[in-house]
């Protein structure tokens, strides 16, 4: 195999062609890959997954949204040799994975490539019954046939691995890959050695029987959880981070995120900050813009106890919303910018879901659709837009936008200035520049609609949402919206 271009050249070259900067090269990552810090790295052609663009054959084998869209480059190699005493061993009889040994420690790596195995194009309803597997198919050694199998498996109600007989590594790799594409899994009992490899969170999530998965909503929520843990713990980025951590090298593989919160309602700031403080994503900064008011010092002090990296700005009431957001972005230090609305509900993995979606989609903007809406007037939780997630789409809620600071500042010249429609103007600007917008699953976010529609920058009446509703629940039902942690207070 010919040696590919350097990782930086591959990434930057692909982005330059589209007129956009590389998103997934935060400052820490750029510094890590500088020659001065790469003295102990093996050459790229010795790594299990190489940096490079996805080729035509890969495109042909993928059944997700890639078929009609430009393809992103591979972001980072699977696992790098970061010390001279690291030993890499390829394992698995049908599905390859890797053991990395450093001293007396051994790490298993599925080397999950998020660009090739992801939930893109996932379907809500499993229409083909339950698939019960007893052994690996030797044909899976051909990558195209294995990808075709994974694509068909996620259209099942579930994949039952209770009687699956295979090596520990093949079983673990299959579970990771099925989870990554969103195929629901059941297994009466996982072997302890498999649990060690796939991790506690993923293994504890897998039920012993079909049970509630026959319900499409439960199946869909479960699938979103599987995807999250697979991509968080087993993507090639996580592999590299583990190796760096065990060898004592400090480098942030995941990007830093700045949450920008522009608000004119001091009574909602505490509610919003309490939700942000519970976010599971580790590298967060919070920038709050108090639009026309000063926040009480006691609230600032109490908020800093749970938020280490909190900035509070007083913004002139004379500025419009777009100008306030531009000011918040200019004071942010994160690689990525996430917009947060003060009155909506967000689950603890909200930011994590967005970062993972940006990683596997390669899009410049990602977000969640406002699938779940709570009406204070009717005391009713509604669901709409139940299909169309995990695809390239501009149907995303402004309060869920995630993009890079480079896109906002360098490509758009700042957040567009306007009193309303600031989110749509941002999306339109990125699309005009040649970028992509991706819609991930809608769970873990509930849009609040107050009694007065004019109190919102998006001033649609409640009839608009009722007309599009496909399911309803009485009261504020966060479990209906797939929340893992339910807190009904606020506002």
Choose among 271, 285, 261: nearest CA to 340: 261
Query: What pLDDT is recorded for position 79?
Result: 36
> Does position 162 have pLDDT exceeding 90, yes or no?
yes
Least confident of 19-33, 198-212, 238-252, 285-299: 19-33
Confidence of residue 313 (pLDDT cuts 50, 70, 90): very high
> Does position 24 have pLDDT exceeding 80, yes or no?
no
Confidence of residue 34 (pLDDT cuts 50, 70, 90): very low
Query: What pLDDT is recorded for position 477?
Result: 97
Q: What is the mean pLDDT of residues 103-112?
A: 86
**CB contact at 8 A, 385 and 443:** no
Least confident of 64-78, 140-154, 407-421, 430-444: 64-78
Q: What is the CATH number of domain 257-474?
A: 3.90.550.10
Share of the chain above pLDDT 90, in %: 59
Q: What is the mean pLDDT of residues 277-282?
A: 95
Q: What is the mean pLDDT of residues 186-206?
A: 97
pTM for the structure as a whole = 0.83
Q: What is the mean pLDDT of residues 104-108?
A: 86
Range(s) within the chain of domains with CATH label 3.90.550.10: 257-474
Query: What pLDDT is recorded for position 137?
Result: 96
CA distance 428 to 331: 23
Query: What pLDDT is recorded for position 459?
Result: 59
Torsion sign over Cα 306, 312, 317, 319: negative
- Burial (CB < 10 A; 0-12, 13-18, 19+), residue 463, is exposed
Q: What is the mean pLDDT of residues 236-251?
A: 72
């Amino acid at each position: 195999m010919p040696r590919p271009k350097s990782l930086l050249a591959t990434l930057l070259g692909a982005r330059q062609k589209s007129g956009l900067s590389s998103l997934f090269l935060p400052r820490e990552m750029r510094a890590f890959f500088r020659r001065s810090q790469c003295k102990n790295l093996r050459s790229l052609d010795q790594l299990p997954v190489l940096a490079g663009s996805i080729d035509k054959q890969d495109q042909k084998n993928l059944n997700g949204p890639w078929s009609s869209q430009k393809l992103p480059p591979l972001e980072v190699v699977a696992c790098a040799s970061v010390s001279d005493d690291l030993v890499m061993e390829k394992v698995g009889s049908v599905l390859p994975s890797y053991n990395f040994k450093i001293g007396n420690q051994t790490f298993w790596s599925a080397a999950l490539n998020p660009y090739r195995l992801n939930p893109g194009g996932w379907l809500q309803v499993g229409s083909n019954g339950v698939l019960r597997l007893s052994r690996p198919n030797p044909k899976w050694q051909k990558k195209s046939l294995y990808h075709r199998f994974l694509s068909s498996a996620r259209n099942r109600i579930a994949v039952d691995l209770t009687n699956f007989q295979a090596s520990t590594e093949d079983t673990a790799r299959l579970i990771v890959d099925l989870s990554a594409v969103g195929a629901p899994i059941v297994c009466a009992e996982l072997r302890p050695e498999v649990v060690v490899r796939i991790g506690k969170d993923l293994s504890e999530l897998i039920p012993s029987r079909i049970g509630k998965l026959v319900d499409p909503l439960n199946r869909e929520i479960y699938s979103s959880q599987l995807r999250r843990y697979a991509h968080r713990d087993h993507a090639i980025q996580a592999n590299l981070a583990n190796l760096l951590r065990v060898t004592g090298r400090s480098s942030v593989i995941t990007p830093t995120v700045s949450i920008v919160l522009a608000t004119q309602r001091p009574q909602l700031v505490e509610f919003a900050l309490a939700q942000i403080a519970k976010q599971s994503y580790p590298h967060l900064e919070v920038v709050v813009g108090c639009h026309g008011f000063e926040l009480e010092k006691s609230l600032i002090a109490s908020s800093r106890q749970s938020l280490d990296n909190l900035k509070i700005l007083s913004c002139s009431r004379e500025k419009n919303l777009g100008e306030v957001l531009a000011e918040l972005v200019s004071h942010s230090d994160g690689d990525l910018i996430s917009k947060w609305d003060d009155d909506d509900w967000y689950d603890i993995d909200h930011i994590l879901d967005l970062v993972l979606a940006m990683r596997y989609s390669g899009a410049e903007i990602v977000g969640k659709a406002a699938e779940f809406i709570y009406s204070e007037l009717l005391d009713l939780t509604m669901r709409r837009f139940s299909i169309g997630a995990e695809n390239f789409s501009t149907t995303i809620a402004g309060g869920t936008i995630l993009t890079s600071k480079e896109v906002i500042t360098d490509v758009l010249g700042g957040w567009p200035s306007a009193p309303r429609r600031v989110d749509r103007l941002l999306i339109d600007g990125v699309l005009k520049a040649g970028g992509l917008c991706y819609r991930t699953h809608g769970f873990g976010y509930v849009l609040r609609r107050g009694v007065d529609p004019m109190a919102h920058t998006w001033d649609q009446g409640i009839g608009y949402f009722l007309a599009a509703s496909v399911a309803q629940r009485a009261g504020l039902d966060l479990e209906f919206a797939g929340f893992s942690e339910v807190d009904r207070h606020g506002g």
